[in-house]
Amino acid sequence: MPYEIDKPEDQWRAELTPQEYHVLREAGTERAFTGEYTDTKIAGVYSCRACGAELFRSETKFESHCGWPSFYDPADSSAVELIEDRSHGMVRTEVRCARCGSHLGHVFAGEGYPTPTDQRYCINSISLRLEPQED
């Protein structure tokens, strides 16, 4: 199924930095504890850095101490696409932006975090852009 935002890879490559391109379009992973939003507690909305779609809200961000921004629920379940990922000898669930298909991270369940969903959306900072809430 084509994504609503469907650009040729060389266009993505031109629009994104090499680091953004590697994570968003090549399903890379930023190193743990290096992302700009790992410990961010600012209230706001996290959007897809590739297409700007709203993905997560700061209210569902929690401290997982895993080294990446962690959310227990997307802003809207249809904002993300979940895909089985069998790379690196593991079975994981990849999280992609439902609007442009860019890689965001992975989701893990049943780890025992004290959150309403017991899920951890483990998302690369570089896949997101935080728009702070105005008050």
Active site residues per annotation = 122
* Contact residues for Zn ion, defined by CB under 5 A: 48, 50-51, 53, 97, 99-100, 102
Q: At its nearest, how many Å lie between Zn ion and the CB of residue 79?
A: 9
Smaller CB separation from Zn ion, 58 or 102 = 102
Q: At its nearest, how many Å lie between Zn ion and the CB of residue 7?
A: 11
Q: Which two tokens stand for residue 3?
A: 């994504």
Distance from C-alpha of 33 to C-alpha of 88, rounded to nearest angstrom: 21
Phi, psi (degrees; rounded to nearest 5) at 60 = -100, 10
Smaller CB separation from Zn ion, 51 or 130 = 51
HEC profile of 81-104 = EEEEECHHHCCEEEEEECCCCCEE
Q: At its nearest, how many Å lie between Zn ion and the CB of residue 102?
A: 5
